[in-house]
């Protein structure tokens, strides 16, 4: 197969490298879990075979995530949210309205979040050995412990880029080819070209912190899970939480790749193709994952008394102008306004937090103490509005905030792992009218 030309899509100020392979009737976005370098894919017949297999039934959009491969290196640590933006940018660049997402391991977290956030652009999910949490927990025993992560990160700091380190990784990840000299040479160069040592260190830290367990019930697109026998427990956990998900075990697969043993590769491609062709036309989704923001002015009555009706009206107009300007800047959608409060929605929690902080900071010089609350959850879309218990949660979170404070639910905190944001634990709260206890966190000033 002729190697496709490398092209670039703009995702904000970042250039994302991608290639288009094949002309099948179904669009498929293929991004690797950790390492990415679209050109080195074509330097080894096994990886080339895998892409050709995908292209036998689809048009493959293969990209290097920001900070990896041929895509722009970036100063900030890429988050799941910014990587979702990158996928949309590539899809937009090639005119793809909807696509299947194919990834594995850590990469499945972003794919799951994308499907829940943008169901109208997701045909389905195909995930290999899926993972949804970095740190081990009582109900998630498959992830490494904190001590294991510390050792792993120390190894990355000391060894990334060295041939000896990469050969140790190869022995863990693909033992069936660990002694193959040609595969060793390809693997070492592929990994070196994928990420710099600093980018790798930041990436592993983000892997450790991420947790998208709360998002799983919000996935409502056809989902296929493939797993090694050793990873079946983790895959079962995910299957039970995504409605209608299918699970296929790959007996005999050792290591992280499906495209190494001939028989398993053929079975994998056949399974993926059958799943892709079996997906019918889905109805327009009426539920979506979103982050809601509620703001209001604390102690507005004394301001009204002090300024009088006319003065308060003028100040309120300035308040509304500031809030709407910031919503536009951070891609927020105003859903409702009542008195001195705003209700808005975002497609990413990081942007929602940045917007809330900017609003609070902008209004402080006007003498206005604004509190803000955020929650990420699944909402029903009804006539352009968002409804459901998540709206009540967001409003109650805001009610717990103090003047000048941005307060978030635990789900929001978990989804911005790697962003550099710091939080202060405010403990568990009972939110009026909302079942259960909710752990809340205040966003710390940078």
Segment 304-331, tens digit of pLDDT: 777 787 887 888 899 999 999 999 999 9
8 A C-beta contact, residue 351 and residue 412: no
Q: Which CATH class is domain 7-132+212-278?
A: alpha beta
Which stretches in the chain have pLDDT values below 50?
none
Closest CA to 304 of 317, 292, 295, 313: 313
Q: Measure the CA–CA gap between 116 and 217, rounded to whole angstroms.
A: 9
The answer to whether the beta carbons of residues 359 and 369 sit under 8 Å apart is no
Closest listed residue to residue 223, CA positions, set 281, 284, 287, 276: 276
Residue 92 confidence (pLDDT):
98
Q: What pLDDT was estimated at residue 308?
A: 80
Backbone angles phi, psi at 102, to 5 degrees: -125, 115
Residue 232 in contact with residue 249, Cβ under 8 Å? yes
Task: List 334's β-bridge partners, or say none.
Answer: 344
Q: 287-443 sits in which CATH class?
A: alpha beta
What tokens appear for 217 in the block?
């019930």
How do the domains of the chain map onto residue ranges?
Answer: 7-132+212-278, 287-443
Q: Would you state the pLDDT for residue 415?
A: 92
Strand ranges, E, within 203-340: 223-227, 246-249, 287-297, 333-338
For helices 349-363 and 300-329, the axis angle rounded to 10 degrees is 140
Degrees (nearest 5) of the Cα angle 266, 272, 277?
A: 125
Q: Which of 119, 395, 326, 410 is nearest to 387 (CA)?
A: 395
Residue 30's closest CA among 276, 240, 280, 283?
A: 276
Directed axis angle between helix 262-278 and helix 45-55, to 10°? 20
Q: Buried (b) or exposed (e) across 80-91, using 16+ Cβ within 10 A?
A: bbbbbbbbbbbb
Distance between CA atoms of 377 and 390, rounded to whole angstroms?
6
pTM of full prediction above 0.75: yes
Interhelix angle 146-159/163-173, rounded to 10 degrees, is: 140
* pLDDT tens for each residue of 399-429: 999 999 999 999 999 999 878 899 999 999 9
Give tens-digit pLDDT for 335-380.
999 878 999 999 999 999 999 999 999 999 988 899 999 999 999 8
Specify the pLDDT at position 260: 86
Residue 356 to residue 346: CA distance in whole angstroms: 11
């Amino acid at each position: 197969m002729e190697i496709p030309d490398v092209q670039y899509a703009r995702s904000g100020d970042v250039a994302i490298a991608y290639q288009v392979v094949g002309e099948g009737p179904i669009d498929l976005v293929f991004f690797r879990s950790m390492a990415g370098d679209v050109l080195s894919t074509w330097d080894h017949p096994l990886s080339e075979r895998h892409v050709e297999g995908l292209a036998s039934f689809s048009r493959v959009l293969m990209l290097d995530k920001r900070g990896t491969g041929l895509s722009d290196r970036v100063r900030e640590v890429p988050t799941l949210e910014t990587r979702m933006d990158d996928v949309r940018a590539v899809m937009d660049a090639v005119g793809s309205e909807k696509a299947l997402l194919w990834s594995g391991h850590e990469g499945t977290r972003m794919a799951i979040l994308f499907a829940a956030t943008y169901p109208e652009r997701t045909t389905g999910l195909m995930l290999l050995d899926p993972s949804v949490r970095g740190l081990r927990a009582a109900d998630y025993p498959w992830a490494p412990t904190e001590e294991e992560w510390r050792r792993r990160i120390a190894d990355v700091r000391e060894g990334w880029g060295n041939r000896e380190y990469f050969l140790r990784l190869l022995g863990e990840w693909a033992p069936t080819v660990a002694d193959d000299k040609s595969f060793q040479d390809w693997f070492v160069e592929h990994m070196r070209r994928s990420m710099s040592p600093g980018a790798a260190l930041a990436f592993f830290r983000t892997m450790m912190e991420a947790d998208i367990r709360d998002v799983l019930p919000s996935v409502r697109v056809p989902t296929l899970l493939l797993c090694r026998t050793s990873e079946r427990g983790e895959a079962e956990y995910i299957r039970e939480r995504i409605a209608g998900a299918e699970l296929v075990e790959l007996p005999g697969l050792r290591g992280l790749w499906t495209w190494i043993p001939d028989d398993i590769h053929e079975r994998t491609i056949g399974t993926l193709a059958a799943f892709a062709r079996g997906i019918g036309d889905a109805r327009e989704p009426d539920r979506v994952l979103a982050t809601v923001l509620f703001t209001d002015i604390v102690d507005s009555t004394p301001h009204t008394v002090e300024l009088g009706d006319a003065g308060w009206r003028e100040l309120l107009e300035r308040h509304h102008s500031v809030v709407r300007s910031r919503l536009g800047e951070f891609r927020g959608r105003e859903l409702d306004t009542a008195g001195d409060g705003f209700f808005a929605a975002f497609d990413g929690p990081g942007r929602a937090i940045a917007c809330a902080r900017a609003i609070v900071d902008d209004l402080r010089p006007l003498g206005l103490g604004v509190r803000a609350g955020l929650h990420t959850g699944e909402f029903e879309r009804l006539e352009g509005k968002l409804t459901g218990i998540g709206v009540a949660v967001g409003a109650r979170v805001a009610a717990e905030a103090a003047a000048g404070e941005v307060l978030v639910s635990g789900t929001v905190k978990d989804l911005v792992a790697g962003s550099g944001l710091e939080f202060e634990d405010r403990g568990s709260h009972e939110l009026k009218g909302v079942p259960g206890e909710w752990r809340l966190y205040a966003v710390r000033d940078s």
